Chain A
Amino acid sequence: MLIEIGIELLQLLVVMLGSPLLVGVIQKAKARLQGRRGATIFQPYADLRKLLAKEMVVSENTSWIFRFTPYLLATTMLLSALIVPVLTTRAALGFMGNIIALMYLFLLGIFFLALAGLDAGSAFGGMGSSREVALAALAEPTVLIAIFGIALRAGTTSLDGIITRFSAEPLLMLNAGHLLAFFAFFIVALAENGRLPVDNPATHLELTMIHEAMILEYSGRLLALVEWAAAMKLFLFLTLLSNLFFPWGVALANTPLTLVTAFAALAVKLFLFATAIAIVETSVAKLRLFRVPELLAGSFTVALLAVVTAFFIR
């Protein structure tokens, strides 16, 4: 039991400390693809440190919601890090929830961040909130249908269970439905994390920003928490994509060797996903806001196809 708790803490540390690095790697890869040298991959750590050292400037119009939200946001992500099988399927606190509970934890974060966006009373914040919740709502059916598609094959909605099952019978993954579910989930991951082609994390252009508009009023340690939470969310989503759809390397039993392997495998998989995201963001232009629902409707159709094929092929 003590070992399991230790491993759980290890997973938590990987997410806490690894997430800024992931963002740094994506930024570096993007810079190289665009012919720039780019900042070092450790730049996000320096940014966070700088923000933590600065004072907060808080709008006079805000209430406690504005100040509370960054803490809650980081909390939901840390809690999610306990649920997601980052390294191992046998962590101490994995029983806290299945994949559906996890999605609702993410939604809790979005709910409060959208409230915080409205709290300062600026037009930008409201605009960001309204767009963010709209996209989150439209992405939700895809998420659940993709989960349905996975659960159909794995026979469970438990994250550990899915990975265990797919590791034991890799042939289950060798069909069109699994691939479709993966694509649907990938598009949702881009949308939920405010990446191109849905939202551009690098822009502060009034008319196009979504996530950045919502957090425009944040500064100092509050902004540091929000940025860190966003990095953790990206890390967790990519970990889910890596471990649910490509479960190789995830530790099924806790020995030092399997854990080291799992860590190495995760690093490789995340690096590949980071590169993929950098390529997507370099080659694709941002969609007009009102074309995004079409993208999400497309991913929903793909997810539904994944479910339908499962019914007809079995």
Chain B
Amino acid sequence: MIDSTLMAELLIASVACFGAGAVAALAAARCPSVARILGHTSSLVGAVAAFSLGVSGLAGGSIALDVPDLLPIGGAAFGVDRLSAFFVVVIAVGAIPASLYAIGYTREYAGKSSLPGMAVAFNVFVAAMILLPLARNVLTFLVLWELMSLASYFLLITEHEREETLDAGWVYFVMTHAGFAALFMGFLLLAQATGTMNFIQWGAAAANLDPTLRNLIFVLLAVGFGSKAGVVPLHVWLPRAHAAAPSHVSALMSGVMLKLGVYGLVRLAFDWLGVASVWWGGLVLVIGAVSAALGVLYALVEHDLKRLLAYSSVENIGIILIGLGAAMLFQIHRRESLAALALIAALYHTLNHATFKSLLFMGAGAVLQATHTRNMEEMGGLIKRMPQTAVFFLVGSVSIAALPPFNGFISEWLTFQSLLLSFQISAHTVNLIFALGVAALALTSGLAAACFVKAFGITFLALPRGAAAALAREVQWTMRAPMALLTLACFALGVAPFVILGLLDATTFDLMRVHAELKFGWSAVVANGGFGWVAPLWIALGLVAFLLAIPLALRLLGANKQRRYYETWGCGRALQTARFEYTATAFANPFKRVFAPLYRPVKHLDIEFHPESRYFVRSIGYRHEGRLIFEDALYRPLLRAIQALAHRARVLQSGNVHGYLVYILIALVALLILTV
């Protein structure tokens, strides 16, 4: 058994490190580069301590830590169980490399932004995220949630001199607080109905809730957590925010913060409320499928490297929710062991996404720092200028495209297995939902491969399309080391899933009291008896063996190995420049045509003719833009309605202080009458 005092010490040490980091950064405010290094180093140490805490929690340790005087109404309450510990590990896996990366990356901001301020916000952000899954009552949770949102907001607007950043910050601020409001209402309703603010007692009390109220609470909390996770249609803040934030923050927001929304949904469905109706699971699965497919479709046509990665996060959250929704459907149909399998798939993908998405955002940050642009149309040829970053980004791309032998493959494979096993449920509607889930996931994985061929190929291969890309230089080691670390993690989680599957099985066992229909050892993972199996380690070994054997065999065959370098074949043109290369726009064009109803592209063709004759063209401008359905159809009308309402409400704003005092009095009396 794990010593719980040791775990409590780890928790306190971790929080102390973040506190010390924030204080040190403030104290060294006079010397920004010291503040930068001190602040991020101590967050690195804090994240390592949190990682140890998470691992010992996964190994079976548990603590309950109450600090009664820290907060009103019940005090601050923390606890560790396996699910919490798992998410602490996920966060630490993102936070450790991000802290290290920040040391090098924030150097760019010297003289432009407040480095001490960034270090303080960074420490608060990571600390809030690590504590959040440990919160054990409503107020602790909400305070940490808000702290996380605010700290990330301040980090996001680091480059506040740009209009685009402030705009992104504003959208993020509004969306995150709309989500907060939904959470707040849901929590209060649940607390009132169960008579306790304490999370641990909710599970037992929820069974006796009125079904309508239970549905309402589910929807409110799902909206709150969903908006943080970035599911369609609540995803609109994501591409803006993750593109505008500094890259180490994007890595954390995308790789880690979204996962806290997933954490909330898992808690909601398997701890607090249980799964009460079939439609809950169906809704989660369908929303997951829609998010996955739309996320990757929007990512495909994006030329801003960081926006592309942000949309791909929507996709991956969708994949996680497909697994979660499947788990909920299995649960309500009393197939607990399959529910555990689906939930394991979802949690595994959560961890995997934290590794490869952090890796990719860091790679994008390195490219951004080397080329000073996020526009892929100005990149190219970086594999020669930044060979190491290219390898890291390639591994991230292969992982996120779910290809063997890397980690994304295992979790998607598990998700497929659990979806295919749905034939064990005999309810036609549910079967159909599962079949569509399979189709959506398959389409998503194919499109994700296409998307990352584009992301890596256009950015790193062929000739540089811009002057900055031609002069790019490899980034410093503090930025390469964390990427190398995550690259190794992607590989290790891909070839040795048995390391993590045992812990995940224990985690789902704690929630469902049933072991998953899954056998695994170092050589293979087997789902549901002999329903499906895969041996990732053997696949990796096979790949290596054949890669070595083929050149050897060619030598034995006496194949010609002379190599001559010559220019690319260009139909006999004398000159071959980067202007002949396929662009990101062109690459995505087949998808734009096939999915035109979704993108509803608009073509702009501006031709300037020669004044003397229309047969001579002076310049041609061509733009081919997509439109965003959700922004146009959902948010703009909503904003207009709110604006109109606000216009009406202006009558109340007299500007007279006495008037406002009367309002306050009326509100107070009304509340008193309502409650008494």
Contact = CB atoms under 8 A, between A and B. Distances in A.
Interface of A: 52-61, 63-65, 71-72, 74-76, 78-79, 82, 93, 95-98, 100-101, 104-105, 107-108, 110-111, 114-115, 118-127, 129-131, 133-134, 136-141, 143-145, 147-148, 151-152, 155-158, 161, 216-217, 220-221, 224-225, 289-290, 293, 300, 304, 307-308, 310-312
Nearest to B543: A75
B417 A104 contact: no
B74 to A, nearest CB: 48
A221 B539 contact: no
A104 B533 contact: no
14 contacts: A52-B558, A61-B462, A74-B550, A101-B404, A107-B445, A111-B453, A121-B461, A121-B581, A122-B580, A129-B453, A130-B587, A157-B531, A308-B435, A311-B432
A122 B449 contact: no
Given A60-B565, A290-B593, A140 B442 contact: yes
B520 to A, nearest CB: 13
Instruction: Pick the 7 closest A-B CB pairs, nearest first.
Output: A126-B582, A137-B446, A140-B446, A121-B462, A144-B442, A133-B450, A118-B457
Given A130-B589, A145-B438, A308 B532 contact: no
Nearest to B559: A52
A55 B563 contact: yes
A124 B558 CA distance: 32
Contacts of A140: 442-443, 445-446
Nearest to A228: B550
Given A52-B560, A107-B449, A114-B453, A158 B439 contact: no
Contact of A123 (B380, B409, B581): B581
Contacts of B590: 130-131, 134, 289-290
Given A101-B413, A121-B581, A300 B456 contact: no
Interface residues of B, number: 86
A306 B454 CA distance: 34
Interface string B502-524: 00000000000000000000011
A121 B568 contact: yes
A53 B576 CA distance: 29
B461 A108 contact: no
Contact of B567 (A60, A72, A100): A60
Contact of A57 (B524, B554, B564): B564
B401 interface: yes
B569 interface: yes
B256 interface: no
Given A104-B413, A130-B587, A157 B432 contact: no
B442 A115 contact: no
B458 interface: yes
Nearest to B529: A156
Nearest to A161: B530
A97 B547 contact: no
Nearest to B564: A57
Contacts of B589: 130
A97 B581 CA distance: 38
Contacts of A79: 539, 542-543, 546
B442 A138 contact: no
Interface string B130-158: 00000000000000000000000000000
Nearest to B413: A100
